[in-house]
Each structure stands twice: as structure tokens, then as C-alpha cells.
Amino acid sequence: MGLTLLKNADASGVYFLPAPRRAAIESSSNRLHFKVLTADIAEYSSAEAVLFQLGSALNFPIWYGSNFDALFDCLTDPDWEPAKGHVLLISGISRLRTTDPDDFATLLEVFQAAAEAHREMQSPFWILIDSPARGIPTFPEA
């Protein structure tokens, strides 16, 4: 995995990451001293439960309200998990797509908005999901 790509804030965003590439991304991210956080949401079928699990897995502050607005606020808060860059590895996202397609779409929109906010701040911020989704590109090869 090219370290140059991961450092490029302008290219960062929300991507589908095939499982065989996950270890290389984690290794490269760690070499760059990026904060790597993982969240497994496979066992949750409602947006409320998914948002709660994301808050727990991503170490959000106590005030996190487990809703889409609070998710965006936490992901874009400069005091949340300070680092040179961030890589969020989200697994099990396909279950929410199956059980609640509208909330799945909203979750992706929030992820994309947070990534855009980080691009504007020139802060590398990658949200990598384990399932292909309409409008979400595959993570580029190095």
C-alpha cells in the first residue's frame, strides 16, 4: 500500500476496501502514525444500534447522542482522537443496508460529509467499509 496515497488528504474519503487488502492498509496507516479505529456493526440491524456501536467503537465522548448529527459532529471534532490522519475500518455494514436501506444511505452520506470536512481541513481521513455500495468507489490500488 502506497504511503503517499494515504497521506493525500485530497484523495481521502469513503471507500470500499476488499478484505484481503485490510492488513496492508492497517500496516501502512500505523507507519504513518495515523489513528486506526475499527468498528464491527454486523450484529446490529437498526440505525440506533449501529450509531450506538459506532460511538463505542470509535471512542466518542460521553455527550455523543447516537444520532446522525452527533456522528458527524464527533467525526469532525478536532479534539476527537488527535492524529496526523485517521483510518476508520467499518465492517458489517451490509446488514444495515439489508434491514434499513434509507438509514444505510444516510449513514454513508454522513461518512461522506465528514470526509469532505476533513479534506477541507487538509487532514487525511479515510472511512473504509467492507461491502461495496452504490456511489462508493473501491479503494485505489497503490
- Evaluate whether residue 137 is within a structural domain: no
Domain-located, residue 112: yes
Total domains present in the chain: 1
- Report yes or no on 49 lying in a domain: yes
**Interatomic CA distance for residues 91 and 49, integer angstroms:** 14
Sequence-ordered list of residues with C-beta below 8 angstroms from that of 69, at least 6 positions apart, any chain? none
Contact assessment for residue 75 and residue 37, using Cβ atoms and an 8 Å cutoff: no
Residue 71 lies in a domain: yes
Report the distance separating Cα 41 and Cα 31, nearest Å: 26
Residue 140 located in a structural domain: no
The answer to whether residue 141 is domain-embedded is no
Q: What is the pLDDT of residues 86-99, one digit of tens each?
A: 999 999 999 999 99
CATH label of the domain that carries residue 100:
3.30.370.10
pTM: 0.95
Position 142 in a domain = no
Answer yes or no: are the C-beta atoms of 127 and 88 closer than 8 Å.
yes
Domain membership flag for residue 134:
no
* pLDDT(123) > 70: yes
End-to-end CA distance of the chain: 5
pLDDT in tens, 13-41: 999 999 999 999 999 999 999 999 999 99
Q: How far is CA 84 from CA 40, 48, 93, 97, 100, in A?
A: 24, 30, 26, 31, 34
Q: What range does the domain containing 14 cover?
A: 3-129
